[in-house]
């Protein structure tokens, strides 16, 4: 506990850069030595060159657009269905009893576990990939919408009754705004799951375009440089997606007291 | 209005109502199973494409009888156990270290946060290139999947231990082992257990995915073989088994969590 004194910003930065540089230096040495254990280490120059090539011939952009569209189309369908189902289950005991146990049971199967079955039924094309993404996005949206609408304070709902609001007005003016933080949490999680599912299905099905497809093909061709370019693109895009939805959430919830 | 007492229900009716309430959650399943069976027997779809529930049960029975199921499940679970133990221990050690030492945090957290942006599944091709497709690869994937949630939960938990606890311990000159055992562990246990549970279920998902991609055994491989040989019954049995395992792991971890934090509610 000697390090309780806060470190200055430059010191923190310098310390953080050290291990990254160490990893890069070790990597470069392995590449210069011709690799070890039968692995052809790609030098940093090779990786940079591969990145340049992928951008110059447009492959990286095509892949990124394909993966993003799989993730976002799946998210749009899955989150919409999930939010609607979750809200319906929170408002209607009948829907809850009908769907609750069934959805809880389906939720237990790892999303990727559905892949072989869906591949048999719908082929290994884009359709199957999007179906898996839809399923991945559905459950977090559904669970959070269910919890969020279910937790709306009774007195708010009673105010709606007192004012004689119609069902639609109650939903629009009271339930949805009160549940908005949880709905957005659901959407945030759904986006993360959709992104992972999009990459995962591309790696496992390996057809068409996409970062995951290139990753898988590069692995079978032992192109470590290309593997790293794709992994880096995955990380950057994932970070940007996550960052954008956080900004959206903060903007939509600016009327709320901070810290929720 | 309600001034005269309600007639008490006869016991038989009471029992029937109780039974009805207990069985109600199963009703949608039974309806679904019946509809599924009827649809697959109707001949609208080829029998190989829409396998009836009885067909799935038959496939599961055959897998169990031939010992295939035990072999695949055993392989998967031993990989899960080894990888999860390694990943969780590393996560605990790493999370504690960067929470307690500002220098360690400054050194390690930028690299950690960068790697955390990559979905674990995207590490799969990288790890295959380095480790091949045998057990070391699968155990490492599981360890990586378990490491991140445990490290983050441990970091948060240790960071949120009130400073006063450590100061009191210092005043009383509590030795390090006692500090860990009597202050750190009780204060961080609930949050760390949640992290371990999340890590366990994620590790299972990632293992099934890794086995789908590259394995000679395991539940994921069983499904992949079923797919390649167009045995939908086997694939569905695999879906069922992987769901059940995920469910049991989650429930067991929750039960352990409840037991270990019992003193909190007292």
CB B141 within 8 A of CB A203: no
Residues 6+ apart with CB under 8 A from B118: A231, A234, A235, A238
Q: Which residues of B touch A200 (CB under 8 A)?
A: 119, 121, 209
Structure token pair of residue A43: 């030098």
pLDDT digits (tens, 9 = 90+) for B70-100: 888 999 999 999 999 999 999 999 998 988 8
Sign of CA dihedral B262, B25, A99, A124: positive
- φ/ψ of residue A38, rounded to 5: 75, 10
Any idea which of B120-124, B232-236, B260-264 has the lowest mean pLDDT? B260-264
Chain A: give the shortest CA distance to residue B5, in Å: 29
The verdict on A78 touching B (C-beta cutoff 8 Å) is no
Q: So what's the pLDDT on residue B164?
A: 83
* B157-210 pLDDT per residue, tens: 888 888 888 888 888 888 888 888 888 888 888 889 989 998 998 899 889 888
**CA B233/CA A60 separation, integer angstroms:** 39
Whether residue A72 has pLDDT greater than 70: yes
Q: How far is A244 from B204, CA to CA, in rounded Å? A: 29
Confidence check: pLDDT of B128 > 70: yes
Q: Kindly list the residues from chain B whose CB atom is less than 8 angstroms away from the CB atom of residue A224.
A: 129
pLDDT in tens, A10-67: 888 888 888 888 888 888 887 777 655 556 677 788 888 888 888 888 888 888 999 9
Question: B206-239: per-residue pLDDT in tens?
Answer: 898 888 887 778 888 888 888 888 888 888 888 8
pLDDT at A198: 92
Chain B 3-42, CB below 8 Å of chain A: which residues?
Answer: 24-26, 28-29, 32
Cα distance between residue B98 and residue B203, in whole Å = 23
ipTM of the complex: 0.76
Q: Is B100 within 8 Å of B158 (Cβ atoms)?
A: yes
Which chain A residues in 36-55 lie under 8 Å from chain B, judged by CB atoms? Answer: 39
Please indicate whether, in this complex, the C-beta atoms of A116 and B32 are within 8 angstroms of each other.
Answer: no
Coil, strand, or helix at residue A52?
Answer: helix
- Which candidate, A130, A133, A128, A127, places its Cα nearest to that of A111? A133
Give residue A35's pLDDT: 56
pLDDT value, residue A174: 81
CA distance linking residue B179 with residue B134, whole number of Å: 41
**Residue B130 touches chain A, beta carbons under 8 Å:** yes
A150-176: per-residue pLDDT in tens? 877 777 778 877 887 787 787 788 888
Mean pLDDT of the B119-143 span: 87
Q: Which residue of A has its CA nearest to B96?
A: A1
pLDDT at B124: 86
Give residue B246's pLDDT band: very low, low, confident or very high (50, 70, 90): confident
A256 to chain B, closest Cα gap in Å = 25
Three-state secondary structure readout of A85-108: HHHHHHHCHHHHHHHHHHHHHHHC
pLDDT of A2 > 70? The answer is no
pTM of the entire predicted model: 0.81
Let me know if A178 is exposed, middle or buried by CB neighbors in 10 A (0-12, 13-18, 19+).
Answer: middle
With cut-offs at 50, 70 and 90, classify the pLDDT of residue B25.
Answer: low
Domain ranges of chain A: 44-252
Enumerate residues 6+ apart whose C-beta is below 8 A from B260. B189, B193
Question: Minimal Cα distance from A238: which residue of B?
Answer: B117
Judged by CB atoms within 8 Å, which residues 218-257 of B form the interface with A? Answer: 220, 223-224, 226-227, 230, 232, 235-236, 238-240, 242-244, 246-247, 250
Confirm or reject contact between A21 and chain B (CB < 8 A): no
CA B64 to chain CA centroid, nearest Å: 23
**In terms of CA atoms, which chain B residue is nearest residue A38?**
B130
pLDDT of residue A4: 52
Chain A nearest C-alpha distance from B86 (Å): 22
Beta carbons of B209 and A16 less than 8 Å apart:
no
Rounded Cα gap, residues A87 and A144, in angstroms: 9
> Is-contact B200 B192, C-beta < 8 A?
no
Joined together, the tokens standing for residue A62 give: 């095509």
Q: What is the mean pLDDT of residues B116-124?
A: 84
| 3-state secondary structure at position B43 | coil
Which pLDDT score, from 0 to 100, does residue A3 have? 44
Query: Which is higher by pLDDT, A207 or B236?
Result: B236
Query: Is A97 close to B25, i.e. CB distance below 8 A?
Result: yes
Q: What is the mean pLDDT of residues B26-52?
A: 78
Q: What is the pLDDT of residue B3?
A: 52
How far apart CA A35 and CA A165 sit, in angstroms, is: 72
A259 pLDDT more than 50: no
* Helices B232-260 and A115-122, packing angle to 10 deg: 150
Percentage of chain A exceeding pLDDT 90: 16
CATH class in words for A44-252: mainly alpha
- Contacts with A202 (C-beta within 8 Å, 6 or more apart), sequence order: A67, A70, A129, A208, A210, A211, A212, A213, A215, A216
- Greater model confidence, B238 or B7: B238
Q: Do the chains contact at A100 and B124, CB–CB below 8 Å?
A: no
Residue of B nearest to A6 (CA): B102
Average pLDDT over every residue of A82-101: 85
Residues 225-244 of A with CB under 8 A from B: 227-228, 230-231, 234-236, 238-239
Q: Residues 131..170 of B with a Cβ closer than 8 Å to A: which?
A: 166, 170
Choose the weakest-confidence range: A114-118, A188-192, B72-76: A114-118
**pLDDT band per the 50, 70, 90 thresholds, residue B9:** low
């Amino acid at each position: 506990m000697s390090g309780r004194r806060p470190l200055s910003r430059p010191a923190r930065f310098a310390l953080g850069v050290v291990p990254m540089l160490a990893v890069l230096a070790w990597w470069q040495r392995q590449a210069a030595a011709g690799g070890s254990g039968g692995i052809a280490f790609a030098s940093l120059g090779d990786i940079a060159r591969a990145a340049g090539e992928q951008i110059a011939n447009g492959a990286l952009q095509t892949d990124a657009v394909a993966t993003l569209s799989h993730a976002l189309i799946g998210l749009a369908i899955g989150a919409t269905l999930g939010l609607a189902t979750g809200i319906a289950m929170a408002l209607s005991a009948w829907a809850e009893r009908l769907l609750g146990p069934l959805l809880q049971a389906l939720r237990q199967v790892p999303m990727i576990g559905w892949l072989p079955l869906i591949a048999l039924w719908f082929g290994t094309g884009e359709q199957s990939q999007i179906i898996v993404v839809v399923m991945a996005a559905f459950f977090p949206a559904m669970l959070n919408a269910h919890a969020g609408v279910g937790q709306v304070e009774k007195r708010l709902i009673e105010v709606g009754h007192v004012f004689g609001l119609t069902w639609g007005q109650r939903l629009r003016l009271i339930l949805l705004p009160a549940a908005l933080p949880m709905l957005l949490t659901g959407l945030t999680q759904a986006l993360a799951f959709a992104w992972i599912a999009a990459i995962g299905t591309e790696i496992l099905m390996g057809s068409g375009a996409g970062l995951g497809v290139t990753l898988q093909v590069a692995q079978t061709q032992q192109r470590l440089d290309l593997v790293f370019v794709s992994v880096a693109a995955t990380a950057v895009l994932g970070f940007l997606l996550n960052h954008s939805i956080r900004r959206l959430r903060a903007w939509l919830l600016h009327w709320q007291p901070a810290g929720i | 209005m309600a001034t005269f007492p309600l007639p008490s229900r006869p016991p038989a009716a009471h029992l029937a109502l109780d039974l009805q309430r207990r069985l109600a959650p199963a009703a949608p399943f039974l309806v679904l199973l019946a509809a599924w069976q009827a649809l697959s027997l109707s001949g609208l779809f080829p029998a190989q494409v829409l396998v009836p529930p009885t067909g799935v049960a038959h496939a599961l029975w055959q897998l169990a009888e031939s010992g295939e199921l035990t072999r695949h499940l055993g392989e998967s679970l031993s990989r899960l156990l080894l990888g999860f133990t390694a990943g969780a221990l590393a996560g605990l050690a790493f999370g504690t270290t960067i929470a307690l030492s500002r220098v360690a945090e400054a050194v390690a957290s930028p690299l950690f946060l960068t790697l955390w942006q990559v979905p674990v599944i995207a590490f799969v091709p990288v790890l295959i290139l380095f480790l091949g497709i045998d057990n070391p690869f699968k155990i490492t994937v599981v360890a990586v999947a378990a490491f991140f949630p445990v490290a983050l939960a441990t970091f948060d938990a240790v960071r949120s231990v009130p400073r006063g606890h450590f100061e009191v311990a210092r005043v009383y000159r509590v030795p390090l082992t006692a500090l860990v055992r009597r202050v750190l562990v009780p204060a961080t246990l609930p949050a760390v257990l949640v992290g371990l549970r999340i890590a366990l279920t994620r590790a299972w998902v990632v293992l099934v995915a890794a086995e789908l991609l590259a394995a000679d055994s395991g539940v994921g491989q069983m499904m992949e073989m079923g797919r390649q040989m167009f045995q939908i019954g086997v694939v569905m049995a695999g879906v069922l088994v992987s769901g059940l395992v995920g469910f049991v792991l989650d429930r067991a971890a929750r039960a352990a969590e409840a037991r270990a934090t019992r003193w909190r509610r007292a």
